[in-house]
Structure formats: C-alpha cells, structure tokens
Amino acid sequence: MRSTPHSPLRHVPLLGLLAALLASLALTLAPPAAAGPATAETLAAPVRVMPLGDSITGSPGCWRAVLWNRLRNAGYTDLDFVGTLGTQGCGQEHDGDNEGHGGELVTNVADQNLLPARLSATRPDIVVMHFGTNDVWSSIAPDRILAAYTKLVGQMRASNPHMRILVAQLIPMNPGSCPGCAQRVVDFDARIPAWARATSTVDSPVTVVDQWTGFSTATDTYDGVHPNSAGDDKIAARWYPALSAVLDAGVPGDPGDPGDPGDPGGGRPTCGAVFRATNVWQGGYQGEVTVTNTSTSAVTGWSVTVVPAGGARLTQVWNGTSATAADGTVTVTNASWNGSLAPGASATFGFVATTPTTAGTPSATVGCTARGTATS
C-alpha cells in the first residue's frame, strides 16, 4: 500500500508569532476612538416657544405667522415655535407648530392634566398663552379659570424651572349668540394682572400682555370671536415687544444666549425697560420708563415699545422720539444725547397718557431693543 507523502511543515519564527498575537490582541482590546470635543455649534439650540391656547391660537391662528416673520425680520432667527399641532396654512411661510386646540377650555386642560404630556413632547423655554375664551363663553367663574392658570404654570415649571411665561389679557368677544360674553371678558381680564403678580417668580417670571386694548370685534374679527387678518396683525403686534424683551434678556439653558449666567463674551448688546407711573389724575397719568444696558457690550442706541393697558393713549413723550401705531402701541427711540449706554448704565424717558374714566391703576407692557456691536 502506497503511503501518501506528508506536506512539509512551515516553520514560523517564534518572535514573529508572538508579535502577530500581540497585535491581534491590541486590536481587540483597543477602546473606540474618542469623539471630538463638543463645540458651541453642536451645543447651541434654538429658543423653543410654545403658543398655547384654543382656536384663536391654532385654528388657524395666523397671528403666529405674522409674529414669526416679524421676529425673523428683526434678527431673531434662532427660534423654534413648538407644539404637538402643525401649521394650518396662513398664506405665508412660518414655523407653524403650536398648542392651540380648537374648542378647548383651559379649565378642562387643567382638570384632565393634558398639558404635561404636551410639554414633555416639545420642551419649550417660553410659553405664549392666550387661553380661556371658551371658559368665559361657558360662564365659568374667573376664580376657577385663574386656578387653572395657576395649575398650568406649576406644570410648566415642573417641565422647566426657568420657564418664561407670557399671558394675554383676552381679546374682546361679542358673538351674537352670547350677549353676556363682552362684559365677562372685561371682568376676567381685570383679574389677570393681580394674579400674575402673585404667581410670577424671579426664576420663572410671568408677564401680562394686554391683547384687549385697541382690539375691535367689529373690525378685527370675522364672527365676533376669531381674528381676521387685521386682528392677526394687532395680536402679533402686542406679543412682539413682550416676547422680544424676553429673548433679549436671555433664556437660561441656551449656551449661546447673551443672557445666560457665565456667558464669556456678553454676546450682542441687550437692554431692559421698566415702567412706572410717577403721577396719576382723573383721566390720565404721567409715566416714566427706565432703559438699562443689560449686556457687557456698549449700547449705541435703543428703542422701546410701550403698550399701555386699559385703553390708555400716549399723547406726549420727552427724552426720545416716538411713533404710534394704529392699535396704540408706541415705539420710542433714543434722543441724540441718551442713546449711548455703557454696560449697566441707564437712561429714562417720560410720557403723558390719557385714560378712560373707568381705568384702574396705570400699567404698560414695555420691551427694549438695543443697537451696538457685539463683543466676543
């Protein structure tokens, strides 16, 4: 029987074999490559704004489109309107996400705890809320509506302890099927400022925005309740100064925002505005607004929007030049001698306003926009 010859053995040098084994082991045990350091671009996120309400906000709520484009045109481009509902058109490009559910009552949203899931899904930094029209229509007492507001604010703060909250005094309502609605809106709106003062905190301020003054159900709605295009323009015009003031002041948690604690460069120039009434008489008052550079950059000029509450109208302004819109909103621009403000410095301007005889304590929503060169 013929035997099959064996193939000759290959002799691998011992040192070469050990080197190959060690190389293989090193590849197996080597940790994955570390990711590069996070940059400001990867960390920065847009400020998330939730429009919250009912059909006036969401069906179709075209004031949101007007407001979005006004903010973008003014340079507020790092924004994200958020909500679990999408856009309904409005004929102009905008970020249409919102939380305006047609027919909803704010008391039902509070009682059924509907808001926490919506907050969890969208994680807003700012809430812009016009909510309660259906409750007023349903003759729900102001105390109960305000209790619902308080519960929703608590849920907002549970979602974000630094939530910025803008709450509207509701636009007028006068549908033919609800003869008592007009006065009920007036009565409810009158309660909102005191509620806001009691609810606001340093970490999570509540700002009241007067949407009632200057709004006409005859010319600014198509049915006595829902805004037409003229009404959309007025609503957006009232939201704009309050929202831009919050954006200018900064939202904690946005690492690129000039208002954040620890921001190394101060970012773009920003300013704040504070209103106070210095003298009051029957049918009018004298007001003063203090403008302060709230950034670490030099301010070379400023403008302040003043939205007087309670039907007041500004008739005279000093230490600034003014322009008045059709809805009564006044924009005051610095004079030649008080526009330049070093960090922390302030300037003031004053005005006289006329008021209806039934007006209460003078109040106004003010917002400031600064001009200057950003520092780095």
**What are the residues whose beta carbons fall under 8 Å from the beta carbon of 260, sequence distance 6 or more?**
250, 251, 252, 253, 254
The reply to whether the predicted model has a pTM over 0.75 is: no
Sequence spans of domains, the chain: 45-249, 271-372
pLDDT at 264: 31
Query: Alpha-carbon distance 291 to 303, whole Å?
Result: 9
Query: Alpha-carbon distance 216 to 37, whole Å?
Result: 55
Which listed CATH number (3.90.1510.10, 1.10.1040.10, 3.40.50.1110, 1.10.3720.10) goes with 45-249? 3.40.50.1110
- State the DSSP H helix or E strand holding residue 43, giving kind and residue range, or none if neither: helix 40-43
Tokens of 227: 């805004």
pLDDT at 234: 93
pLDDT at 233: 93
* Among 310, 314, 312, 313, residue whose Cα is nearest residue 360: 310
pLDDT at 13: 44
- State the DSSP H helix or E strand holding residue 145, giving kind and residue range, or none if neither: helix 142-159
Cβ atoms of 268 and 258 within 8 Å: the answer is yes
pLDDT at 227: 94
Please report, in tens digits, the pLDDT of each residue of the chain (376 residues total). 333 333 333 333 444 444 444 444 443 444 444 434 433 333 458 999 999 999 999 989 999 999 999 999 888 989 999 999 988 778 888 999 999 999 999 999 999 999 999 999 999 999 999 999 999 999 999 999 999 999 999 999 999 999 999 999 999 999 999 999 999 999 999 999 999 999 999 889 999 999 998 899 999 999 999 999 999 999 999 999 899 888 887 777 544 444 443 333 345 788 888 899 999 999 999 999 999 988 888 999 998 888 888 788 999 999 999 988 766 788 899 999 999 999 999 999 999 999 987 777 888 888 888 888 766 5
Cβ atoms of 273 and 361 within 8 Å: the answer is no
* Among 54, 56, 68, residue whose Cα is nearest residue 221: 56
Cβ atoms of 266 and 375 within 8 Å: the answer is yes
Cβ atoms of 270 and 259 within 8 Å: the answer is yes
Q: What CATH number should be reported for the domain whose range is 271-372?
A: 2.60.40.290
